[in-house]
Structure 1
Amino acid sequence: MEYISTRGNVGKLGFIDAFMMGLGDDGGLLVPREIPVVSAEKMEEWQHLSYQELVLAIFSLYTNGEIPQQDLKDLVYASYGTFRDPHITPVRKLKDDLYLLELFHGPTFAFKDIALQFMGQLYTYVATKQGKKIHILGATSGDTGASAIEGVKGKEGIKICILHPHGKVSKVQELQMTTVQDDNVLNLSVDGNFDDCQRMIKELFADLDFKATHHLAAINSINFVRIMAQTVYYFYAYFQVVKETGAKQVNFSVPTGNFGDIFAGYLAKRMGLPVGKLILATNENNILERFIQEGVYMPGEFVATYSPSMDIQVASNFERYLYYVLGEDAAEIRKRMEQFKSEGKIVIDGEALAKVQTEFGAYSVQGKECLETITRYESSNGYLLDPHSACGVAAADGFTGNQEITISLATAHPAKFNEAIALCGIEQPFPEEISALFEKPQRQTRVDGTLPSVVKELVAFYTG
């Protein structure tokens, strides 16, 4: 397995080098040269594996044997040893044609733990084996930051800085990041929105001198290992539902803003998983819905919503999908991304748009419908959804054109977003780990939304 860039000027990277590069040095996103296809016989074998065993089976298709098997096994079992459910990502039945994939049983109660606990272990492994300094730099709309910090806090040879938009994450998300007191952790609270934070991260990774001088490593979903790790739970969920229902094919409804989680589902489908539609659930920031319905990718006005982790206009992983839609043509991707930079939009039509609409559905969940979904399922099923998971369920319920079983992704524990839950008139008990956060001191640095201000803090942190 080799890794190449969507823009064509980086290629023939091994797994570890691709992991460490994060964003392609040409500004593109790294993808496998060929997506591995799993045979029907292998799929039958995989149905009987535990989650950790399935992780090892899928990772072996991508890691090139660069990590000795026992070392990889140790990394995987250490990564998922802190999860609160023995199934790691259990599936719950909500009704006959709708299942919920719970992805919030990790240490920070969010789906990001599933990939980032492994990435934290892998960064630690590389730092130890190669004697490298690793300075992780990332942006978060809420959950990535806490998960990434949890994975590497206090680790020798690693420093981590996370940018989050000031006042635009939930209080619990903020506390999970900023109550960590380890000296290898820096939280920058940035005046602006997530897109501003993400843009600065990409600019810093694109500055190859800065990247090399300060040993930058990526934790966001620009890093392909994030996508690889998230692919596993699509297979695992499918196997659980098939055992119960005998279904031959399922749909997935995925709340998304950065296109990473749903791209993992697309990758699983390309690998051979029998997926019908990937239903993209958005909120008022619905640039991705418009792309799927009309073929127009153009950021609109940012809107703060009840599901803040989805409040994103420019989706990091969109370029990966565009690469496949346009026939893996790197020259065309370079042209389209330059067009996006100059004109602020990308338009596709004809066969390319028809292909998108065959693979994806889309449904935008407005604030009122999000809260109504939370209230309805709590009342009728006794199940409390967080606002992001509610968007996924609402999209599954509202999407027309499928009569098949749908698995909707529950991306976070409702205690992380009590602001929305309280608006529904629901009082919820907090897990002990979350309640304890409110008694801890916070440590964060507020900066204006300019790159020089961020760079000043980064240089002081990384060289201090």
Structure 2
Amino acid sequence: MRYVSTRSAAPGKSFSDILLEGLSSDGGLYVPETYPSVDAETLERWRTLLAEDGYAALAFEVLRLFIDDIADADLRGIVQRAYEPGKFIDPAVVPVTRLSDGLWLAHLSNGPSAAFKDMAMQLLGELFAFELQRRDQTITILGATSGDTGSAAEYALGGKPGVKVFMLSPLGRMTPFQQAQMFSIEDPAIINIAVDGVFDDCQDIVKELNADAEFKARHRLGAVNSINWARLMAQVVYYFAAWLQVSDGGPVSFAVPSGNFGNIAAGHVAREMGLPIDRLILATNENNVLEEFFRTGRYRVRGSAETLATSSPSMDISKASNFERFVFDLHGRAPQRVAELFGKRLPDEGEFDLGATAEFDGLADRFGFVAGTSTHADRLAEIRHVFEADGIVIDPHTADAVHVARRSGVDGPIVVLETALPVKFSETIVEAIGVVPPVPDRFRGIEDLPRHVVEVAGNAEAVRKVIESH
């Protein structure tokens, strides 16, 4: 399996090389030269495997289709360490629950940081540790978070030899609990940087510093955001796990809270591999850049002033990095077209419009995407409805997907991908149902701990100075 950039026709690279590189030097994102395919017989074998041997065994089978430069014995050990049942609240790792109205919830927030990002970060931490030891190298992780990526990355990478982490977050844009998860960590190898701006500004800084070849080489910069293919690859696994628990062999649709497009892009990959997915139901909040594209073909990036602060803050994103991977497939994997759209037109004009193109025509039938959006009032109503009907408390991001799923018009089973435990968004939960969500024992008191964070201006030079000083 070789990996190519979405923006050039350069020769493919190995998985281990792109794992450490993160973002391609041409500004593109790495994708497999071809997606592996899975047939019905394999799916039935995996159904038995998941039931008898658990999530880690399934993850190994899926991941080995993408990784051929790590020996099976080593990869199996990496995966078993990443998905050790003891790390997760539920030993099933990704259990599913059926709601009284027929929707399913896939519970992805049982991990160390109580968010779905753990599903990829735990694997990424083990992959980094293995590869750095194999090469006798170190790496400097530069990442950006809108809320959950940061804590998941820091919990996964903390204490890993040869790894230093600089994590950017938008100043004042995360909930108090999310801030406490990150800023309470006492580890000299983890430096939290609060940027005066929104998540998109943080993400732009990460890309700008990665594009500085000399700086990137000197500090051995790597990425844990979903611009790193390994993140997306790990997320593909839970689509298979959910489908195997819900389906009798027929198609299933997935409703996915979407901000940076990584979570639903993994569903796109699973569908391209042959997993019987009917529709990928993309759910956004008031920051509806992605919903607008799938409705009209227009992709328009919004600036900081237009990026609203909402009750589902991890989706307060107006520039979806992983969207480039989908557009690469949409255009028949033509890197010159992607380079023109994302490397030239988007920076120059702030938007592009594919609504009148042949590629956009019939997009939903070819790739399964449908989209919708929610308001704060919608999310409160869904949290209240699920609690009253089923006694389950869902977080506002998951509520967004529940709302859009119910109004999508899609027939057949729909699995909503849960995003985070409700404790991370207590204020919204109390507003919706008047109940303070329970705090898992491992998080009690973290909001009272000392904070370790550096506040900087919203530009790459300010962040560069912090990295240089450490």
Q: Secondary structure at the match of 1:407?
A: strand
Q: Distance in 1 between matches of 2:340 and 2:436?
A: 51
Correspondence for 1:344 among 343, 350, 359: 350
Q: Distance in 1 between matches of 2:310 and 2:155?
A: 26
Q: Distance in 2 between matches of 1:280 and 1:317?
A: 14
Q: Distance in 1 between matches of 2:238 and 2:330?
A: 24
Q: Secondary structure at the match of 1:361?
A: strand
Structural RMSD (CA): 1.1
1:55-91 Cα deviation digits (max 9, x unpaired): 1101111111x11222111111111121121111111
Report if the CA contact (8 A) 2:55-2:83 is conserved.
no
Deviation at 1:96, TM superposition (A): 5.2
Aligned length: 456
Report if the CA contact (8 A) 2:378-2:403 is conserved.
yes
Q: Is 1:299 aligned with 2:305?
A: no
Q: Is 1:28 aligned with 2:38?
A: no
Deviation at 1:451, TM superposition (A): 1.4
Q: Secondary structure at the match of 1:314?
A: coil
Q: Which residue of 2 aligns with 1:430?
A: 439
Q: Distance in 2 between matches of 1:312 and 1:96?
A: 30
Deviation at 1:376, TM superposition (A): 1.2
Q: Which residue of 2 aligns with 1:356?
A: 363
Structure 1 residue identity aligned to 2:75: L
Q: Secondary structure at the match of 2:320?
A: coil
Deviation at 1:439, TM superposition (A): 3.2
Alignment of 1:355-434 (within 5 A): 355-358=362-365, 359-400=368-409, 402-424=410-432, 425-434=434-443
Q: Distance in 2 between matches of 1:122 and 1:201?
A: 21
Correspondence for 1:77 among 52, 57, 80: 80
Deviation at 1:438, TM superposition (A): 2.2
Q: Secondary structure at the match of 2:359?
A: helix
**Structure 1 unaligned runs (5+)?**
none
1:352-401 Cα deviation digits (max 9, x unpaired): 2134322211010111101111111111211100000111111111112x
Q: Which residue of 1 aligns with 2:65?
A: 61
Report if the CA contact (8 A) 1:415-1:434 is conserved.
no
TM-score (norm 1): 0.96
Structure 2 residue identity aligned to 1:215: R
Q: Distance in 1 between matches of 2:102 and 2:294?
A: 24
Q: Which residue of 2 aligns with 1:13?
A: 13
Q: Is 1:248 aligned with 2:255?
A: no
Correspondence for 1:195 among 167, 189, 200: 200
1:282-338 Cα deviation digits (max 9, x unpaired): 000000001000000002321000000000000010110000001111111111121
Structure 2 residue identity aligned to 1:233: Y
Alignment of 1:262-281 (within 5 A): 262-281=264-283
* Superposed structure 1 runs of 4+ greater than 4 Å apart: none
Q: Secondary structure at the match of 1:47?
A: helix
Q: Distance in 1 between matches of 2:33 and 2:452?
A: 42
Report if the CA contact (8 A) 1:251-1:404 is conserved.
yes
Structure 1 residue identity aligned to 2:438: P
Q: Distance in 2 between matches of 1:42 and 1:438?
A: 46
Structure 2 residue identity aligned to 1:238: W
Q: Secondary structure at the match of 1:36?
A: coil
Q: Secondary structure at the match of 1:88?
A: coil
Q: Distance in 2 between matches of 1:448 and 1:41?
A: 55
Q: Which residue of 1 aligns with 2:229?
A: 224
Structure 2 residue identity aligned to 1:452: E
Structure 1 residue identity aligned to 2:443: I
Q: Secondary structure at the match of 2:378?
A: helix
Deviation at 1:8, TM superposition (A): 1.2
Report if the CA contact (8 A) 1:154-1:183 is conserved.
no
Structure 1 residue identity aligned to 2:279: K
Alignment of 1:117-132 (within 5 A): 117-132=122-137
Deviation at 1:247, TM superposition (A): 5.7
Report if the CA contact (8 A) 1:172-1:434 is conserved.
no
Q: Which residue of 2 aligns with 1:44?
A: 44
Q: Distance in 2 between matches of 1:76 and 1:247?
A: 26
Q: Distance in 1 between matches of 2:369 and 2:408?
A: 11
Q: Secondary structure at the match of 2:48?
A: coil
Report if the CA contact (8 A) 2:284-2:372 is conserved.
yes
Deviation at 1:17, TM superposition (A): 0.4
Report if the CA contact (8 A) 1:97-1:404 is conserved.
no
Q: Is 1:163 aligned with 2:168?
A: yes
